[in-house]
Amino acid sequence: MKRFYEGKSVLVTGGLGFIGSNLAIRLLELGAYVTVVDSLIPETGGNAFNIEPVRDEPKLSVRTVDVRDVLAMERLVRNQTVIFNLAGQVSHIDSMQDPFTDLEINCRSQLALLDTCRRVAPQTKVIFASTRQIYGRVPEEQLPVDERQPPSPVDVNGINKLAGERYHVLYNNVHGIHTSVLRLTNTYGPRLLVKNSRQTAIGWLIRQVMDGETITIFGDGLQLRDFTYVDDVVEAFLMAGANDTANGQVFNVGAIEPISLRELADLLIEVAGTGRYELVPFPPERKAIDIGSIYVDDRKIRRVLKWRPQVDMREGLRRTIEFYRANRAHYWGAPEPALA
């Protein structure tokens, strides 16, 4: 990794967000020149404190730019070796309530970025953060789901993320812009948004447990999910960026093993030493887009890139809770209501 990234110019869109900031910090450790781009839209996970450990690093440049600003992005993509394209709207509920903003950020902006690379930076490699949400509901007998599963999104966010990843593969195949797509599951760890439930459910659960509150789990809590610690996800991005065999490929990025939401709650409460949970029926708006059990088969990325997750759930939660205990003031703020 260090041999590849040292001295290279790298752009991270959404770089003040959860995964983007962890990725930027790791890239600087590897000796890269890192440009972080983030719109800092309040409802998303952007947080200037996320890059506090490297704020004074001379190889870091931070730009407050919205990826929808085509002219600004044209100046920023020039001369980049790799672009880690993590900017996006990730809330499934928000996408249903405001579908056109989701369309702008997750679809139109992705196409604009790729076409900008075609025009002014054709040598740049682009790694796109997609989601396993594009699979939609999958019958239990077909789990774990691999990359050959036909997509069937159940919400606007899933449809637009699917379009975004298809644009990336198209520009690889037709225009020669080297791209890779990582379909992430449930990423967690330090710097995750915990002020509300917009980004991922686990961030809100962590906040509630650390505040000694009662976690609400919809349904029977037996729904299976795979949760990936952020350091493992960062390594997957770095491997895809450094390896030409990833060009034009779509990869699932999974976990060591799936876990039920009830088991997750029990483990989280045990590690934190506080909190409790209760099971409640699904409200109609959540039931409409719930996908039941879903976890991925990630043997492809393990085979092609030799990636595999290293951090188990207990250790990942321990590190996460330790981080928030040390930095609570920068992430709690005024609590925002979780979206219904």
Concatenating the DSSP letter of every residue in 81-125 gives SEEEE------HHHHHHSHHHHHIIIIIHHHHHHHHHHHH-TT-E
Q: How many domains would you assign to the chain? A: 1
Confidence band (pLDDT; 50, 70, 90) for 340?
very low
Give the mean pLDDT of 2-30: 97
Question: pLDDT band at residue 289, thresholds of 50, 70 and 90?
Answer: low
pTM over 0.75: yes
Instruction: Flag whether 34 is in a domain.
Output: yes
Query: Is 10 domain-assigned?
Result: yes
What residue type is 79 in one-letter code? N
Domain hosting 11: range is: 2-187+228-253
Give the CATH number, domain containing residue 109: 3.40.50.720
Inside any domain, residue 158: yes
pLDDT computed for residue 105 by the predictor: 84
Rounded to the nearest 5°, which phi and psi values hold at 299? -65, -25
pLDDT digits (tens, 9 = 90+) for 258-277: 999 999 999 999 999 999 99
Q: Which of the four pLDDT bands, split at 50, 70 and 90, describes residue 331? A: very high
Residue 156 near residue 106 (C-beta atoms within 8 A): no
Does 167 reside within a domain? Answer: yes
Please report whether residue 93 resides in a domain. yes
Q: Is residue 265 in some structural domain? A: no
pLDDT of 337 over the 60 cut? no
Q: For residue 128, tell me if it sits in a domain.
A: yes
In a domain, 239, yes or no: yes
